[in-house]
């Protein structure tokens, strides 16, 4: 019986089909990542029902710190939500002599503001215990467009407008009648750290000229990363994966190195900077915080980096070491 010969096409068909399916899958995922990057990066509806969260639901976890929701408009007309609290309560007679430290807080991606309020309240409570009668703190937390009760859809361009509106609102709080010269601190967590550095870099043109306020006195960067592109490379370190090469297609950058170079403009007063890293951060590589510190040092900025022991990405303010570092940093402004 004659032996059957396998043709070249028969041998090559299975690997070609497999390769074609793999390339098609990669191409499909790349397209999805590029087209829906705003939803993937900001996750405005994660977890489910986060947009129905209320401040009142967390009031008993705030240690007596009173929060209220405020509504403001971004420059493009989108209505955004803020959560605002002040400590300690100062009567009108003391207000005339009180210094005021106002903090604009920019949250990380995913989730609403109310679940973050208890940990922010722990910081405010510690400040309240240690504050002198002549010092007052106000914390203004921004809910990015598309999250919690804020309108609109998230994007870097839109969130930059939200941040500018929140900083402008915070600076108006600084200039309440009869108060002494005050300090503005921008505090960002995770992707919010990129929002904070970008807002500080934009302040001299977008806010200071408009409102006549003072520049930023401090930057508090909690579990920051260098940029969205740098995180893309960190999430997909394998050079054979196509996803790490999607940088040119990004519409969201949040590049803190670029922002820090702008902040270091010799014509402006440089802010003190604190970088807080989580020792067990499961999302952001430790090298990213170190790179931001080195960039700041090269630019001559006043920077300090602290690694919070045994902390995961979202646990810095929960750990006593992290909370102590934040309180000490904020207490340093008078």
Query: In this predicted structure, what is the pLDDT of residue 50?
Result: 87
The region of weakest confidence among 77-81, 215-219, 308-312 is 215-219
Helix runs in the chain, H state only: 8-35, 37-42, 92-95, 117-130, 156-174, 191-203, 209-211, 228-235, 256-263, 286-298, 320-331
| 17 contacts: CB under 8 Å, gap ≥ 6 | none
Q: Let me know: does 114 contact 55? Beta carbons within 8 Å.
A: yes
Is pLDDT at 91 greater than 60 in this prediction? no
- CA–CA dist 3, 6 (Å, integer): 10
Query: In this predicted structure, what is the pLDDT of residue 94?
Result: 60
Q: Which of 279, 334, 269 is nearest to 305 (CA)?
A: 279
Give φ, ψ of 136 to 5 degrees.
Answer: -130, 140
Query: How many other C-beta atoms are found inside a 10 Å radius of the C-beta of residue 25?
Result: 10
pLDDT band at 44 (very low <50, low <70, confident <90, very high): confident
How many alpha carbons fall within 13 Å on the CB side of residue 300?
A: 8
Determine the distance from the C-alpha atom of residue 330 to the mean position of all C-alpha atoms in its chain, rounded to a whole number. 18
Q: What does the buried/exposed string (b/e) look like for 97-119 if buried means 16 or more CB atoms within 10 Å of the residue's CB?
A: ebbbbbbbbbbbbbbbbbebbbb
Per-residue DSSP letter, 223: S
Q: Which of 313, 327, 290, 294 is nearest to 190 (CA)?
A: 313
Cis peptide before 47 (omega within 30 of 0): yes
Q: Which residue has the higher pLDDT, 118 or 203?
A: 118
Q: Let me know: does 184 contact 173? Beta carbons within 8 Å.
A: no
pLDDT band at 213 (very low <50, low <70, confident <90, very high): very low
Q: Which residue has the higher pLDDT, 281 or 2?
A: 281
Strand partners, 139: 85, 103
- CA–CA dist 203, 326 (Å, integer): 23
Q: What is the pLDDT of residues 183-202, one digit of tens each?
A: 899 999 999 999 999 999 99
Query: In this predicted structure, what is the pLDDT of residue 208?
Result: 45
Instruction: Work out the angle at residue 276's Cα, subtended by the Cα atoms of residues 203 and 233, and round it to the nearest 5 degrees.
Output: 85
Mean pLDDT of 20-31: 86
Query: In this predicted structure, what is the pLDDT of residue 179?
Result: 55
- Residues in the chain, total: 334
Q: Which of 75, 80, 76 is nearest to 141 (CA)?
A: 80
Mean pLDDT of 128-143: 87
Query: In this predicted structure, what is the pLDDT of residue 93?
Result: 57
SS3 303: strand
pLDDT band at 265 (very low <50, low <70, confident <90, very high): confident
pLDDT band at 15 (very low <50, low <70, confident <90, very high): confident
Q: Let me know: does 314 contact 282? Beta carbons within 8 Å.
A: no
Q: What is the pLDDT of residues 214-230, one digit of tens each?
A: 478 999 999 999 999 99
Query: In this predicted structure, what is the pLDDT of residue 6?
Result: 54
Query: In this predicted structure, what is the pLDDT of residue 236?
Result: 93
Computed over every residue of the chain, the mean pLDDT equals 88
- CA–CA dist 165, 179 (Å, integer): 22
Query: In this predicted structure, what is the pLDDT of residue 145?
Result: 96
Q: What is the pLDDT of residues 140-183, one digit of tens each?
A: 999 999 999 999 999 999 999 999 999 999 988 877 655 555 88
Query: In this predicted structure, what is the pLDDT of residue 327?
Result: 96
């Amino acid at each position: 019986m004659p032996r059957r010969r396998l043709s070249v096409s028969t041998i090559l068909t299975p690997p070609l089909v497999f390769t074609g399916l793999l390339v098609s899958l990669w191409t499909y995922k790349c397209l999805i990542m590029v087209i829906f990057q705003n939803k993937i990066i900001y996750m405005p509806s994660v977890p489910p029902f986060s947009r129905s969260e209320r401040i009142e639901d967390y009031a008993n976890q705030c240690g007596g710190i009173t929060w209220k929701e405020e509504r403001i408009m971004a420059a493009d007309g989108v209505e955004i939500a803020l959560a605002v609290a002040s400590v300690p309560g100062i009567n009108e007679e003391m207000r005339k002599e009180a210094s005021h430290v106002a903090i604009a807080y920019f949250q990380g991606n995913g989730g609403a503001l109310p679940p973050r309020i208890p940990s922010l309240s722990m910081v405010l409570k510690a400040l309240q215990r240690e504050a002198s009668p002549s010092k007052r703190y106000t914390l203004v937390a921004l809910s990015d467009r598309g999250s919690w009760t804020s309108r609109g859809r998230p994007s870097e361009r839109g969130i930059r407008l939200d941040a500018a509106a929140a900083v402008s609102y915070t600076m108006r709080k600084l200039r309440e009648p009869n108060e002494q010269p005050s300090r503005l601190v921008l505090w960002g967590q995770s992707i919010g750290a990129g929002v904070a550095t970008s807002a500080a870099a934009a302040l001299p043109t977008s806010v200071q000229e408009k409102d006549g306020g003072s520049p930023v006195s401090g930057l508090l960067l909690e579990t920051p990363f260098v940029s969205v592109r740098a995180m893309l490379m960190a999430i997909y370190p394998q050079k054979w994966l196509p996803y790490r090469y999607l940088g040119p297609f990004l519409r969201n950058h949040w590049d803190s190195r670029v922002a820090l170079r702008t902040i270091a403009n010799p014509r402006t007063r440089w802010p003190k900077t604190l970088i807080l890293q989580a020792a067990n951060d499961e999302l952001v590589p430790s090298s990213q915080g170190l790179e931001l510190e080195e960039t700041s040092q090269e630019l001559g900025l006043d920077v300090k980096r602290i690694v919070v022991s045994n902390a995961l990405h979202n646990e810095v303010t929960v750990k006593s070491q992290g909370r102590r570092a934040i309180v000490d940093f904020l207490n340093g402004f008078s």
